[in-house]
Chains A and B, each alone.
Chain A
């Protein structure tokens, strides 16, 4: 799939932003006043910034409101509804903490649940797609949720939780990669089923429909960057999971904590680039590109 920068920025930043909101909603840490203000600002900056970035790849962003209507069938619509609900509830909860020094715990729990639901619905947009075997697995929501919770714990200074969640996310990441590398081959979809000609013999793409490229090839048959996939996986794992664990095991300082968050964010961005760049859409079979 085409690794559109807007979607990579969106899923990386929003994932972390809603992860932070989950922890804040649970009252971990139980902040008020200026500290709460700073943490909520960071969380909203990440979550809203990501959501804004995601609208950049729309053909008609001015119609985006219509996307809240189909929550009964569409994971993308559900994501929009959950995200807006989470942001509204957490804004009310955050205002209580910042301005009135009052913690409305049930409101925080609701906000945390909605933030969690946002992360899951985002993941389900990808996991639901049978056409992309690498994404079509329960491991996808598990991974994205683990990354979000681990990143949120890291940014809110929940060191003991981060020390458990980062390794869990790292293990899920490796499992997701290993499974993903076999996903297309074991999906049962190949050129024989795509063309229905497998009963006659071995099918080979002889001539594409046009000499030029097209939307399908640009969007879903992205081949660039697979060459460096292994190196990028090592970078993603080292920066995203291993380095933050090492950094928070050192004696605490705010600089090291910030470095751990930045390293994590860079690693997750690399992992998210691979998430798209390595994903094989079955339509590529029609073009003999798999």
Chain B
């Protein structure tokens, strides 16, 4: 039944640090690599080397510009995959029971042999976490690398989602968010992790750590008023040869 479990024993999920992510897209590639070769149907590409390439991805990295009221704009790289919501709207809309949320760890999965490819679950997801595979005609989504995290054939280091394992910046963390003592829960607590689109009522398990306040470029202790320098790129107090050149050119 595609009813949701009243509660899950654990809440496995990701904590994504927007302060640390450098936008390298390594997680995108690692995800595509692992998930195209393992659990379920491969993640197909259409016209990959042609004029109009597109394909199925379970993890995509957006980039946003955030302009504070004063000061410089910030660039924030923003990886997004399934948030394994507690109240996952994608699960309850499924007419066949192909979509389900696991009681033991809260992972939201699709049983691909039951999926009729109606696409309603992708409509129900506010985050764009589900993508219909064009070649296979079934819905694909992040499995939290369920075939890695419990895989005794892998070295213990590798028993975490491919995106987390590969992240060179350490911006992705995996763990049990139901356990207040887990590393991920403490990270969320310390850094003030946030839900995406909380008003949608999905109660996402994955948490996002907002960027820390930036050093103020324009008020750095040693660098002087740099924004003024940007506005007026000419040094007014040049000395030595440049000072002589400045004065001479002024006279011409």
The answer to whether A77 and B95 touch across the interface, beta carbons within 8 angstroms, is: yes
The answer to whether A58 and B93 touch across the interface, beta carbons within 8 angstroms, is: no
The answer to whether residues A59 and B117 also contact, given A131-B123, A281-B123 and a CB cut-off of 8 A, is: yes
A220 proximity list for chain B (CB < 8 A): 122-123, 128
The answer to whether B200 and A67 touch across the interface, beta carbons within 8 angstroms, is: no
B139 proximity list for chain A (CB < 8 A): 59
Interface string of A118-153 (1 = CB under 8 A from B): 000000010011111000000000000000000000
B36 proximity list for chain A (CB < 8 A): none
List which A69-117 residues lie within 8 A (CB) of chain B. 69-70, 72-77, 80
The answer to whether B196 and A219 touch across the interface, beta carbons within 8 angstroms, is: no
The answer to whether B62 has its CB under 8 Å from any CB of chain A is yes
The answer to whether A214 and B65 touch across the interface, beta carbons within 8 angstroms, is: no
Minimal Cβ-Cβ distance residue in B for A54: B118
Minimal Cβ-Cβ distance residue in A for B91: A73
The answer to whether B92 and A74 touch across the interface, beta carbons within 8 angstroms, is: yes
Interface string of B165-200 (1 = CB under 8 A from A): 000000000000000000000000000001111111
List which A50-64 residues lie within 8 A (CB) of chain B. 57-61, 63-64
B63 proximity list for chain A (CB < 8 A): 205-207
| Chain A contact residue count (CB 8 A cutoff) | 59
Q: Which of B53, B119, B122, B201 is within 8 Å of A212, CB to CB?
A: B53
The answer to whether A131 and B200 touch across the interface, beta carbons within 8 angstroms, is: yes
List which A30-64 residues lie within 8 A (CB) of chain B. 57-61, 63-64
Most chain A beta carbons < 10 A, residue from B73, B93, B115? B93
The answer to whether A131 and B124 touch across the interface, beta carbons within 8 angstroms, is: yes
Interface-lining segment among A157-165, A195-203, A236-244: A195-203
The answer to whether B123 and A201 touch across the interface, beta carbons within 8 angstroms, is: no
The answer to whether B116 and A130 touch across the interface, beta carbons within 8 angstroms, is: no
The answer to whether B215 has its CB under 8 Å from any CB of chain A is no
The answer to whether A254 has its CB under 8 Å from any CB of chain B is no
The answer to whether B52 has its CB under 8 Å from any CB of chain A is yes
Q: Which of A1, A187, A203 is within 8 Å of B64, CB to CB?
A: A203
B105 to chain A, nearest CB (A): 21
List which A250-290 residues lie within 8 A (CB) of chain B. 281-283, 286-287
The answer to whether B93 and A210 touch across the interface, beta carbons within 8 angstroms, is: no
Q: Which of A70, A75, A203 is within 8 Å of B66, CB to CB?
A: A203
Q: Given the complex of chains A and B, what is the CA–CA distance between A84 and B71 in angstroms?
A: 62
The answer to whether A213 and B52 touch across the interface, beta carbons within 8 angstroms, is: yes
Most chain B beta carbons < 10 A, residue from A57, A61, A196? A196
The answer to whether residues A60 and B115 also contact, given A195-B196, A204-B64 and a CB cut-off of 8 A, is: yes
The answer to whether A216 and B131 touch across the interface, beta carbons within 8 angstroms, is: yes
The answer to whether B89 and A201 touch across the interface, beta carbons within 8 angstroms, is: no
A208 proximity list for chain B (CB < 8 A): 62
A64 proximity list for chain B (CB < 8 A): 116
B73 proximity list for chain A (CB < 8 A): 201
Interface string of A183-201 (1 = CB under 8 A from B): 0000111010111110111
A284 to chain B, nearest CB (A): 9
B196 to chain A, nearest CB (A): 6
The answer to whether B54 and A214 touch across the interface, beta carbons within 8 angstroms, is: yes
Q: Given the complex of chains A and B, what is the CA–CA distance between A74 and B120 in angstroms?
A: 10
B163 to chain A, nearest CB (A): 14
The answer to whether A59 and B64 touch across the interface, beta carbons within 8 angstroms, is: no
Q: Which of A70, A130, A196 is within 8 Å of B210, CB to CB?
A: A196
A228 proximity list for chain B (CB < 8 A): none
Q: Which of B53, B68, B95, B126 is within 8 Å of A70, CB to CB?
A: B95
Q: Given the complex of chains A and B, what is the CA–CA distance between A77 and B69 in angstroms?
A: 49
The answer to whether A58 and B96 touch across the interface, beta carbons within 8 angstroms, is: no
Q: Which of A60, A77, A129 is within 8 Å of B137, CB to CB?
A: A60
Residues in chain A within 8 A of chain B (CB atoms): 1, 57-61, 63-64, 66-70, 72-77, 80, 125, 128-132, 187-189, 191, 193-197, 199-210, 212-216, 219-220, 281-283, 286-287
For the A-B complex with A200-B210, A216-B128 known, give 8 more contacts whose Cβ atoms are closer than 8 Å.
A59-B132, A68-B95, A70-B95, A76-B95, A129-B123, A131-B200, A206-B64, A209-B62
What are the 8 tightest A-B residue pairs by CB atom distance, in nearest-first order? A59-B117, A59-B137, A209-B60, A201-B68, A77-B95, A283-B128, A67-B95, A66-B96
